[in-house]
Amino acid sequence: MGMDSRIEIKVTNPKKVDNVVHPVGQGHATSASSPPQPSASSPPTDGQGRQQQQALEEGLRHSHGRGRQGRGLIDYMPFKNWVPWLIPGFVIANVVVFLISMFINNCPKHSSSCVGRFLGRFSFQPMKENPLLGPSADTLEKMGALDVIKVVHKHQAWRLISCIWLHAGVFHILANMLSLLFIGIWLEQEFGFVRIGLLYLFAGFGGSLMSALFIQAGISVGASGALFGLLGSMLSELITNWTIYANKLAALLTLIFIVVINLAVGLLPHVDNFAHIGGFISGFLLGFVFLIRPQFGYVSKKHIPTGYIVTSNKPKHKPYQYILWLVSMILLVLGFTFGLILLFRGVNLNDQCSWCHYMSCVPTKLWNCKSQQAYCESIEYQNQLNLTCISNGKSGIYNLSGESTSQVQQLCTKLCSR
């Protein structure tokens, strides 16, 4: 789904007293609004001194004209603007993985009704099987889709990460990659590739973890959890860096509106809204950890020229920023730890929360959510599969003959719909 992140945020003009710098020794405080006055004890009498004075005044005039924020002799340095390359690299990687999955899928070999058959091995599965124009569920499972049964019983925890690089079809990857470009490039320009790369991966992991705790039948793929993590981090970044923004309320309301709209779309059937919610919560907390900025008026000593002192002695961060950082770190560690413990113990959180399934799908007259509520427990014994539907308690025994995940899901759906 598309998420528009083009939000105009202005930086508040700094107070002139915040970044005022005095030369060491006698003389007046020097600022950008008035040229520096020569010290009474050392007037520039020779030609070299006059040239240095003129060069300094000229530099101050240019410095004052460049920025929108009134600056002191120490120019109010804007935050470093990084050149984005990681997010475009992520987009390329997702596209390459999708092409590999289509090549491995090889629809003409297994079906006579492929869509776009002229594409050869890259043709799509029949529309009735995959309306998103993509590979089969079996192929996605082989490539690393999130399959809770394999994660829990076959110790394939790597699927919690690999699934965020897979997509179910052309429409799916197109929507996600456009959203990633709009959101991710701006964040990488502002905070760099290390922070945004870690945030993307951890948020994607958080989305997969929450999805696995609530949707334990079928498979799940997509970068939506990581994308919602980036969106959540934008909201927490605005909160933790509150003092440097001018249009605070407008930016906050705009972000909240975007979040609400995208989460509302997740209430439609066949959309894994649990991954969205888990990714958003993870990204929101990670934003307080990774995207913290110095408060207004703080001047780093490494930017002070030799012979000048700073009159402002503000600490780098405000107390509330440290508190948010600490609380977020604690919640992240506890959340990931307890989530993994519950997952590997085979806990289905729907058993503990009778209404939680409505967070991913709300039934209406236009559609139902039965496919989202088909949860089965499976036991393999002596080449037989014993399935038990959790919602109605009905069970069935089937002979194992290499059933794929999609075939097991079909058997589970039949049990739960009886």
Which residue's entry shows tokens 């124009």? 133
Residue with tokens 């790369």: 197
| Burial (CB count <10 Å: 0-12, 13-18, 19+), residue 323 | exposed
Between CA 222 and CA 218 the distance in angstroms is 14
Name the residue type at position 104. I
Q: What is the DSSP string of 32-71?
A: TTBPPPPPTTS---SHHHHHHHHHHHHHHHHHHHH-SS--
Q: Taking the mean position of all CA atoms in its chain, how far away is CA 292? A: 16
Alpha carbon distance 359, 404 (integer Å): 28
- The tokens for 100 are 């590999």
The CB density around residue 315, as the number of other CB atoms within 10 Å, is 12
Q: Single out the catalytic residue among 224, 282, 328, 360.
A: 224
Query: Which candidate, 157, 174, 168, places its Cα nearest to that of 208?
Result: 157
Distance CA 351, CA 248 (A): 41
**Is 62 designated active site?**
no
Q: Which listed residue (276, 328, 357, 360) is catalytic?
A: 276
CA-based nearest residue to 25, from 215, 289, 308, 382: 308
- HEC states along 293-349? CCCCCCCCHHHCCCCEEECCCCCCCCHHHHHHHHHHHHHHHHHHHHHHHHHHCCCCH
- Is 276 catalytic? The answer is yes
372 three-state secondary structure: helix
Distance separating alpha carbons of residues 73 and 344, to the nearest angstrom: 59
Closest to 257 (Cα-Cα) out of 22, 3, 32: 3
Q: 120: which 2 tokens?
A: 């050869």
Which residues are tagged catalytic? 224, 276
